[in-house]
Chain A
Amino acid sequence: GNSVTQMEGPVTLSEEAFLTINCTYTATGYPSLFWYVQYPGEGLQLLLKATKADDKGSNKGFEATYRKETTSFHLEKGSVQVSDSAVYFCAQSSGGYNKLIFGAGTRLAVHP
């Protein structure tokens, strides 16, 4: 069945470091791909999305490119801030009703 696998955390970085969180997926067909973020004490928020191969989603300095050949959607940011500390979830939409299939989440901790 369809699934999403993302790198285990926690990821601990110093402020202004480069961030990569790996995400790969298995799917029949070509799902839309998403990154959601969950800040401490808050609900899930959509960070960025991509709907077809080679699309690049971007928001708040974060980017991810839909790579069909490697079935990947890695999240990157050039310079992280303490305020980026959160749990990041990679997800794909699945089926006719577009339910989301999530990865297990990756906790990011950024220190000053």
Chain B
Amino acid sequence: DTGVSQDPRHKITKRGQNVTFRCDPISEHNRLYWYRQTLGQGPEFLTYFQNEAQLEKSRLLSDRFSAERPKGSFSTLEIQRTEQGDSAMYLCASTLSGTGAYEQYFGPGTRLTVT
């Protein structure tokens, strides 16, 4: 069990560019979540996958954001036409359904800076 991994760990981009982040969950976990954390705040939910199906999206997820989990394993989060307000830490978490309280295991995050 290597834990949840995310790539890249840091991304600096110019406003208007597109960026894509990757999350590799713990291998047997079928549930995958994306969260966004801004400085001094707790993480906020963005979207949820069960296997390959995207079942819930937050209102925070504007049309510029899209997420996929094509084979129910890794997931990608793409932000198009980035804005300075997108600067944040993007966190991925995974868990296995049927494990009681559904503890989520978090990756180290991708820190995005939009200049």
Taking Cβ atoms with an 8 Å cutoff, the residues of A that contact B are 4, 32, 34, 36, 42-46, 49, 51, 89, 91, 93, 95, 97-105
Contacts and interface: CB of A to CB of B under 8 A. Distances in A.
Nearest to A101: B45
A86 B48 CA distance: 27
Interface of B: 4, 31, 33, 35, 40-45, 48, 50, 55-56, 91, 93, 95, 100-109
Contacts of A49: 101, 103
Given A32-B101, A95-B56, A97-B56, A43 B42 contact: no
Contacts of A100: 33, 35, 43, 45, 93, 104
Contacts of B91: 43-44
Given A42-B108, A44-B91, A102 B44 contact: yes
A105 B41 contact: yes
